[in-house]
Amino acid sequence: MPAANVKRAKPAKPSRSSCPSSADSSRRSPCPVAATLDIIGDRWTLLVIRDLFLGRSRFGEFAASPEGIPTNILSDRLERLLEYKIVEQIPAEKGGKRLAYHLTKKGKDFEKTLKAMRDWSLKWDKSTKVMYA
């Protein structure tokens, strides 16, 4: 039988019940890289995570980063990070009614990824430099 006439079975789609949360049903692929990019793959989210590793925890501190994230986008990204349990809200150290953001264990797992991205960029793009201690 010629190869052109061979019917190929379509791969089975994962069922919604196999997804751990309703947020996962919007994933475009079961590929782990694609799934991660669905959460953090925009131009701002990893910068917020970077800032959390650098000790920033308040909305105003994130907004003051040199990249200049618009506050409406910052609000959206913080909500997404909360939704995926990458950050949690905690009472701010200075008291008051305001809350601060803190990386969860899941969020802290991004440390090696961020360091690898930093190291890759320093190696291959000589116009970059470490701006934060």
Domains of the chain by start residue, with CATH = 31-124 (1.10.10.10)
Q: DSSP labels for 28-88?
A: S-S-HHHHHHHHH-SSSHHHHHHHHHTT--SHHHHHTSTT---HHHHHHHHHHHHHTTSEE
Residues 34-64: tens digit of each pLDDT: 999 999 999 999 999 999 999 999 999 999 9
Lowest mean pLDDT among 9-13, 114-118, 120-124, 128-132: 9-13
Distance CA 44, CA 35 (A): 17
CB atoms within 10 A of CB 47: 18
As a whole number of angstroms, the distance between CA 113 and CA 68 comes to 23
